[in-house]
Amino acid sequence: MKLDDDIHNYYEHLVLERINKLGLDGSKSPDYLADLCCLALNQVPPRYIRYEVDMAFYLPQSERNQMEMNVEHAISKAIKYLDETEKNKEISE
């Protein structure tokens, strides 16, 4: 078994889903998006799974809603941090 092929963090899927929903994948650079993913994922607890279908059938809707709210909050904080960092960088140049 290779962990990197068989197991992944379900929150990665939710973070990417939220980024797409916000349209950031079309308006931000790959570096920005990578930083955004790292910052957001570091704010939420990991939820490791083997198969996406497991989450669809065994995750209660209330827990899924909470996970989505966690991701929304984490991405909002990460965007704020990245935008403030970029603004401060521009001011100091």
Domain count, the chain: 1
> Does residue 18 belong to any structural domain of this protein?
yes
Distance CA 74, CA 18 (A): 10
> Taking the CB of residue 68, how many other CB atoms lie within 10 A of it?
13
Asked if residue 1 is part of any domain, the answer here is no
Sign of the torsion angle spanned by Cα atoms 35, 37, 43, 45: negative
Residue at token pair 């930083």: 35
Domain carrying residue 19: 6-90
- The pLDDT of residue 3: 60
In a domain, 16, yes or no: yes
14 assigned to some structural domain: yes
Q: Is the whole model's pTM more than 0.85, yes or no?
A: yes
Residue 82 in tokens: 């990245």
pLDDT in tens, 58-69: 889 999 999 999
Q: Which of 33, 18, 22 is nearest to 69 (CA)?
A: 18
pLDDT tens digits, residue range 26-45? 999 999 999 999 999 999 99
